[in-house]
Every structure is written in C-alpha cells, then in structure tokens.
C-alpha cells in the first residue's frame, strides 16, 4: 500500500542517526544511577549483556523492514498478518499516551536539566516552545527533521564521549575490585532494567516509504546503530565507576551530572548538560515526531480514522492535519499540571502492545509472503527465525510486568485498561459505521494489496 505524497528522501546515514537518537534518551541518565545501586562496580558488565536480548528482538523487525518496507510498519505488519483490531488498539493506546504524556514529560525534563544552568527558566514555557519547534520542523518535511536529528546526535555522542574521557582521565583500578560483590542475582536484575536503555530503534520500520532502498537500508541501520550505542554506553558506565566511589553516588538523583560537576570545568559541565542530557531527550522528542504520524496515516488510509485527517501535503510530504492535532494534545499535557510520568508508563505499555504483534507477524512472514521473504536482503533462517521473536516476546512480557508493578496502585492501572477499552470500542463503532455504508473494513484489509514495489 503506497501512501500518496510521501517522498523517498532518507538514506542510510539519516536512518541510522534516527535510530541512534531514538535509542539514546533520558534512560541513560535515569537508569545508570538506579542500576549502579543494584550492581555496584559491575555496571559496565550489566550494560554489555543488556544489549543482547534487545538486539536479538530487533532482528525480526529488520527482516520485516527488508522484505516488506511500508509506511507505518508498527500498524501495517500486525494488521495484515495478525489482527487489525489488535494493531489498531495498540496504536490507539500508544498514540494517546505518547502525545499527552511522553512528549510533554520529555520536553519538561529538558527544561529541568537546563535549570541546572539557568535556574529561573520556566518549565512550561520552555516545554511548549520545544514541542512547537519540533512540530514545525516535522511539518516542513522529514528531510529537514532528519538533518536536525543528525546534527543533534553528533553533538550528543560528542558530549557523552567527553563525559567518558573526563571520567577515565585518572585511572582508579581499585574501584573495579570485587566487581561482582553485589551477586549474580543483582547483576541479572541490573541487566534486565538496562534493556530499557537500548529500546527505541524499532521506530524506523515506520519509515519504509520515505527511505531510499529500504530493503537494504533498514537492516543496515540496525547493524550500525547498535554497536555505536553499545560502545558509548560502555564508556559512560566505565567512567561512572572509575570517576568516584560507587557508594558515594547511592543517594544522588542525577549521578552523571554529579560526576560532571566533579570532573569538568563550568564550561565543560554546561556542554555536557546541554549536549548530553538535553539532547538525549531532544533527539528522542524529534524522533517521536518523525514517527508520530506514520501509523496514523496508514490507519486513516484503511478508513478506521477519517481519511481526510491523514492527507499528505504534496509540497512537504507530511501529514499537515495530523501534526497540529498532535501539537494540541501535547500542549494540553504540558499545561495540565498532571503527573505525566504515569502517562509515560502508559506509552511504554502501549509500545509493548504494538511491539509483540510485530514480532508475531515476523513469524508468519515466510508462510504468508514466501517470495518477499526469499528475496529480502536480510532474513532470519532456521533456529534464529523462531528464537529472536521469542526473545522479544518474553522481554516484552517482562517489561509489562515491571511497568505494572511500578504503577503499583490499582487507580493507576485502571486508566490504562480504560485506554485499551476505549480503543476496542472505537474500533468496533467505526467498523459498524463503515459496514452500514457498505464497507467491510476487515475484509478490505484482508484483501488489500499492500505490498509496495
């Protein structure tokens, strides 16, 4: 299914930069301190092993993106190969929670990091301005958004390397003594938590129709992004353990910032906060806007949302009506004063709801589309075709459990269940409405010739 108006303007470097920027987010700053308390000086080991299950679970997505590159892959693959109802509900929950919770939360978090340097900064005003900026850039086109992403990612990587160099400048090997003093159980728990820091690059399967030679570029982007991310994380982890005694950071809210205050000059700290902490969030924000409309465009093309809403501007190649709607919902989140962390958890759960069906779709690829599977530039065969999706599904279920436990209160879990129910109800009402007009949307989806050239 080709969407009219979208333009193939992204090459391998652009897609790799998007993948890196979507992955290196606030998690490296948040989870490093949490896991340091759990694992002690074994933090680098936890980072090294945490990448393995995430990378394995991304390989089925690389295979789908190579064999069947489409716009809105997170919706298209499960809607055509698993269940349109499940695919729609997953995108519904993820989109609502992301636009109302995750985007406002990340933009406010950017403001809070900048307050380290500019104490009087207004959080809401800055957050609103940042969201507006990224929205405008993405309305103008995916190419300028991708170019901005590349610049921000390069600065981000340089800031994290700067942190690592400063933290490793004076070697303190004694701080790595008794590396596994916290035990194997704590190491495994730390690894499990750090897998969150490697997630995000699955979003590039949304961009199939805007990538030149997507069948080759999508898998290559994964194989470029993950080594870069892993090396950066390992260097940061080594610097954290080497720079100061890990016990001294036990009660520190922002250990990377605290280490920066010790190892860097004032100018260096400013560079690290702006180029590292702020851009880690900003690259994720821009990535969310780059991906935000793709599955929604595919849903409108199926008729499950009004078709006019997903219309693509011929000049800019973007959904010029969806972006203002996303902006408006995010503005409500910024100025609502609500605890947006809960909605960010909902977005994470929604992401898992769409991630697992995509993995299930990868299992059906050779059976449903044997020619595309056979001809794809990258494919999983034999044991790996089953093992990699299984790893991802188990990991996704584990994440669901962790997030639900973190929500703790039934009063916080109930709204998420209502989010799901609202998606199911909307899908059913829309399906019946279209059926009365003589359109069987599920039959149309089943018979859709959606495979692009």
**Per-residue model confidence (pLDDT) at position 299:** 96
**Whole-prediction pTM:** 0.93
HEC string of the chain equals CCCCCCCCCECHHHHHHHHHHHHCCCHHHHHHHHHHHHHHHHHHHHHHHHHHHHHHHHHHHHHHHHHCCCECHHHHHHHHHCCHHHHHHHHHHHHHHHHHHHHHHHHHHHHHHHCCCCCCCCHHHHHHHHHHHHHHHHHHCHHHHHHHHHHHHHHHHHHHHHHHHHHHCCCCHHHHCCCCCCCHHHHHHHHHHHHHHHCCHHHHHHEHHHECCHHHHHHHHHHHHHHHHHHHHHHHHHHHHHHCCHHHHCCCCCHHHHHHHHHCCHHHHHHHHHHHHHHHHHHHHHHHHHHHCHHHHHHHHHCCCCHHHHCCCCCCCCCCCHHHHHHHHHHHHHHHCCCHHHHHHHHHHHHHHHHHHHHHHHHHHHHHCHHHHHHCCCCCCHHHHHHHHHHHHHHHHHHHHHHHHHHCCHHHHHHHHHHHHHHHHHHHHHHHHHHHCCCCHHHHHHHCCCCCC
Q: Looking at residue 347, what is its pLDDT?
A: 78
Write down the pLDDT at residue 252.
79
What confidence score (pLDDT) does residue 168 get? 94
Residue 71: predicted pLDDT = 93
- What is the predicted pLDDT for the residue at 1? 60
pLDDT tens sequence across 129-156: 999 999 999 999 999 999 999 999 999 9
What pLDDT was estimated at residue 342? 77
* Residues of the chain predicted below pLDDT 50: none
User: Which pLDDT value is given to residue 366?
Assistant: 95
Domains of the chain: 12-447 (1.20.1740.10)
């Amino acid at each position: 299914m080709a969407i009219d108006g979208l333009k193939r303007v992204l090459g391998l470097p652009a897609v790799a930069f998007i993948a890196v920027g979507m992955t290196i987010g606030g998690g490296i700053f948040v989870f490093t301190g949490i896991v340091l308390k759990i694992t002690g000086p074994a933090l680098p080991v936890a980072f090294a092993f945490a990448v393995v299950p995430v990378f394995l679970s991304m390989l089925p997505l690389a295979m789908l993106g190579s064999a069947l590159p489409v716009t809105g892959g997170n919706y298209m693959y499960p809607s055509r190969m698993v269940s349109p109802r499940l695919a729609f509900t997953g995108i519904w929950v993820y989109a609502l929670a992301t636009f109302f919770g995750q985007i406002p939360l990340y933009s406010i978090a950017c403001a809070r990091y900048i307050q380290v340097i500019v104490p009087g900064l207004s959080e809401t005003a800055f957050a609103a301005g940042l969201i507006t900026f990224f929205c405008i850039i993405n309305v103008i086109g995916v190419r300028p958004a991708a170019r901005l992403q590349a610049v921000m990612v390069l600065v981000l990587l340089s800031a994290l390397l700067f942190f690592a160099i400063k933290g490793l400048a004076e070697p303190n090997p004694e701080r790595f003594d008794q590396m596994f003093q916290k035990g194997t159980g704590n190491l495994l728990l730390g690894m499990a938590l750090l897998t969150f820091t490697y997630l995000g690059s699955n979003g590039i399967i949304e961009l199939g129709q805007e990538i030149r030679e997507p069948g080759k570029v999508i898998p290559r982007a994964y194989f470029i992004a993950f080594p870069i991310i892993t090396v950066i994380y390992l260097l940061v982890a080594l610097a954290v353990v080497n720079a100061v005694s890990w016990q001294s950071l036990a009660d520190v809210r922002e250990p990377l910032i605290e280490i920066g205050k010790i190892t860097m000059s004032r100018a260096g700290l400013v560079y690290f906060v702006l180029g590292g902490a702020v851009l880690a969030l900003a690259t994720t924000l821009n990535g969310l806007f780059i991906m935000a409309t793709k599955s929604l465009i595919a849903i409108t093309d199926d008729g499950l949302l009004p078709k006019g809403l997903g219309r693509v501007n011929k000049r800019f190649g973007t959904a010029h009506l969806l972006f203002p709607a996303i902006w408006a919902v995010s503005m409500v989140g910024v100025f609502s004063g609500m605890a947006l962390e809960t909605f960010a958890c909902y977005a994470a759960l929604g992401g898992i709801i769409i991630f697992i069906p995509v993995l299930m779709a990868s299992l059906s690829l050779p059976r449903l589309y044997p020619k595309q599977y056979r001809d794809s530039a990258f494919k999983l065969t034999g044991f790996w075709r089953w093992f990699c999706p299984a790893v991802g599904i188990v990991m996704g279920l584990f994440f669901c459990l962790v997030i639900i436990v973190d929500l703790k209160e039934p009063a916080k879990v109930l709204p998420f269940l209502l989010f799901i129910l609202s998606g199911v109800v909307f899908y059913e009402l829309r399906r019946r409405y279209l059926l009365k007009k003589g359109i069987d949307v599920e039959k149309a989806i089943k018979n859709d010739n959606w495979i692009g050239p």
